[in-house]
Structure 1
Amino acid sequence: MTVGITWSEASARRMERQFLANPAAKDTGVAEIVGAMLGAHAQVLSAAELSVGVRAVGVTRAGVRDALWGRRTLVKTHGLVKTHGPRGTVHLLPAAELPLWCAVLPAVPSGASPFAAGVRVSEEQAREIVTAIGEALDGVCLTVDELSEEVVARVGSWAGDLVMPAFQGMWPRWRQVMHRAGQSGALCFGPDRGRKVTYTRPPRFTPMPAEEAVRELVRRYLRAYGPATPRGFAKWLAAGGGWATELFGRLAGEGLIEEVVFEGEAGWWVASGDTEFPKEGASGVRLLPYFDAYGIAAQPRELLFPGDAYRRALARGQAGNYPVLLVDGVVAGVWHQRRRGRRTTVTVEVLGRRLGAREERELAAQVGRVGEVLEAEAELVVGTVTAGPHA
């Protein structure tokens, strides 16, 4: 008999598995938390630090940065999926999981090259560039200009031809395959040098077999965010819907995933045997930063962002553009912080309801936690958020 699951049950389990129902214990490693999220969005590093910090006891931005730059149990990826990371953006990933990600992402079908024939590099040239990048970054951190000099010196002047339209000029030819260097484990971000970004080579590893890695990623995605549809998985990974549908069909045939009825609709999937859900719904108040993994991946979006939240907390239907207030597992507001030195003011706009006394106390505690993570003294203001998306 097909299992039936409600939104309340699904959101409660997702919150539990995301360390949002109960923060991770002090002895839980930062990399384990990031692994449960399937990556922390890090286009703005402070947002990633908050995503991790609100899920753990005692973790601050310093702890995240130590894991990233000191102990190197985390990697700030560049080049995973098309240009940077999952969905084409910079992410923090556990270093131990690079064999998984760097096997999966090249296996996701991609479209035709966006570059004109006179700009594109051949497959042989692309391999030469990736090899040169890995050799140049082995054991050092280089700015993009320094890396460019090294690549051109290794493969030839053709790699440095300024043929790629960029923000304020033209980029050298070799940069069109920078994402492949990330996918192959030849390149990731290093610590900033003043205001300049640097790149380095992550710890060496051997990628998993591609098919095995794809199966494992689907299983982990369904464990973290299921029930889910092939379309939801494809959107999360920035993959083609047809490819994802065929993949889910194949995995179902192999008995690795099973279909469930979610909110009265068929076509939703969980990992085989993973059908236990909490009977009590999610509870509590949480503050999630820009592009937090929970807000991006949890579906269906209209249930996560009910009523006014769908209009106010999304940008043309896209999640992540606003930090969000969660109440009992659904979006109930937006928020914004403005930092001045050691102090930060957190303005929270509640949508379509009033907070009860318990919820107000929890919100104050969450604002305090934001301050702890960012190593600042936080002040709560309940009112209208005037800042726009990405502010």
Structure 2
Amino acid sequence: MTTTLKITWDAASARRAERQFLARPAAVGTPVAEVVGAMLGAHAQVLSAAELSVGMRADGVTRADVRAALWDDRSLVKTYGPRGTVHLLPARELPLFSAALTAVPTGPSPFPPGVRLTEEQTDQVVAAIGEALDGRCLTVDELSEEVVARTGPWAGERVMPAFQDLWPRWRQVMHRAGWAGTLCFGPNRGRRVTYTRPVRGDEGAAAGAGTVAGAVPEVAAGGPSAAFVRRYLYAYGPATAQHFARWLAAPTGWATALFGELAADGLVEEVDFEGTPAWVAAGDTDFSSDPVRGVRLLPYFDAYVIAGQPRERLFPGKAYQRALGGCQAGNYPVLLVDGVVAGVWHQRRRGRRTTVTVEPLVRLTARRHRELGEQVERVGEVLEATPELVVGEVTVGPHA
């Protein structure tokens, strides 16, 4: 009779922190893409937040190093990732992300019938985007002209509600083009964002992307969806199919069926996670008996906060109300104490100086206060600014 392995929150939290470079930062010289790969992407809707997510996990890395990996050696790609949101992804792993994300069933359109694109129209727009961006960097207005010219006037009709404005119809599927590998962000042209097409095949590998230490590499076993689930479980497990679906903004029924198939094929293994059935990648059952310790500062939409489940464990007590913006993780930068959210913070930059205001929700011992000061110094190093720590109430509301 097989005994189900029992995993405690402390054990899971410690392993996640270790694999996320939060227990110990990556050593000097570790490729930036390796750090980003360990997170399964750094949320980059606000690029400075992505730079902090990476820099707080890697000794010696500054925002300049992240930008060099993105725009110079191209070991990173800025594109649409999980949940259709903007992420930094390792360039050499883009094919895996593309195959896995395009396999996720699309839910019902949030737009009224007169605004939606049919699947046929969506395919036309995605193909047109790829053709228009091949070897070029275009602003969104330039890209819009190219898409309309290749598809038809229907694509350019300004019917899509967005930020108190109306956007052209085709823009509702920009994230689908990112998933398909036909669009990514290019360098800004002045203050204007540009888009281009990712480099392909050997070009991406030649760009120098690092490999993810300890990641599950078997893409062939079960296909890209299986490899993607196993990568997710390596970073964030134990987790349920519902946790995975929430992280990916995917249909729960689809995720449940996928996990069932992987279990039948012996690719994932069931464990008892604090009394709840959950999954780890098959054979990946080593957990430390030492709980995670220490103080960390994580920025808006950090991957550890977005993916960490169960949410009530990661945001215990007062943190559940204070640090979740509308029940949405990531809307506040958070203070971690011993692996769980224990406060919020905000930084305001003025020239070469930045004021970091931290609002703890637990008592800070002398050791914790010292570690907090070290974290604030690290924030300054990453952002290339001189920091000042203020302990007090954060009056800035959640990020939209």
Pairing partner for 1:366 from 372, 375, 386:
375
Specify the alignment match of 1:81 in structure 2. Answer: none
Specify the alignment match of 1:58 in structure 2. Answer: 60
Which range moved further: 129-138 or 214-223?
A: 129-138
Q: Could you tell me how far apart the structure 1 residues matched to 2:314 and 2:173 are? A: 37
Which range moved further: 314-323 or 117-126?
A: 117-126
Q: Could you tell me how far apart the structure 2 residues matched to 1:118 and 1:209 are? A: 41
Shift of 1:122: 4.4
| Secondary structure of 2:283's aligned partner | coil
TM-score by length of 2: 0.91
Deviation string for 1:183-241 (max 9, x for gaps)?
211111112222211111111249x8896111011101111011111111110010111
| Secondary structure of 2:147's aligned partner | helix
| Secondary structure of 1:57's aligned partner | coil
| Secondary structure of 2:182's aligned partner | coil
Specify the alignment match of 1:165 in structure 2. Answer: 161
The answer to whether 1:240 aligns with 2:269 is no
| Secondary structure of 2:262's aligned partner | helix
**How many correspondences in the alignment?**
382
Q: CA RMSD in A?
A: 1.9
Specify the alignment match of 1:142 in structure 2. Answer: 138
Specify the alignment match of 1:341 in structure 2. Answer: 351
Q: Is the 8 A contact 1:98 1:205 kept in 2?
A: no
Deviation string for 1:127-174 (max 9, x for gaps)?
332222112212221111111112223334343233333434432233
Shift of 1:283: 0.7
| Structure 1 unmatched runs, 5+ | 79-84
Q: Could you tell me how far apart the structure 2 residues matched to 1:325 and 1:233 are? A: 24
Q: Could you tell me how far apart the structure 1 residues matched to 2:165 and 2:397 are? A: 28
Which range moved further: 126-135 or 182-191?
A: 126-135
Shift of 1:102: 0.8
| Secondary structure of 1:77's aligned partner | strand
The answer to whether 1:379 aligns with 2:381 is no
Q: Is the 8 A contact 1:102 1:185 kept in 2?
A: yes
Deviation string for 1:249-308 (max 9, x for gaps)?
111111111111112x13111111111111110011100001111111111111111111
Q: Is the 8 A contact 1:60 1:373 kept in 2?
A: yes
Q: Is the 8 A contact 2:128 2:151 kept in 1?
A: yes
Which amino acid is the alignment partner of residue 337 of structure 2? V
Specify the alignment match of 2:35 in structure 1. Answer: 33
Q: Percent identity?
A: 73
Which range moved further: 367-376 or 134-143?
A: 134-143
Which amino acid is the alignment partner of residue 397 of structure 2? G
Pairing partner for 2:149 from 123, 147, 153:
153
Q: Is the 8 A contact 1:5 1:260 kept in 2?
A: yes
Q: Could you tell me how far apart the structure 2 residues matched to 1:155 and 1:17 are? A: 45
The answer to whether 1:215 aligns with 2:238 is no
Specify the alignment match of 1:82 in structure 2. Answer: none
The answer to whether 1:95 aligns with 2:105 is no
TM-score by length of 1: 0.93
* Alpha-carbon spacing, 1:125–1:44, altered in 2? closer, same or farther (3 Å): same
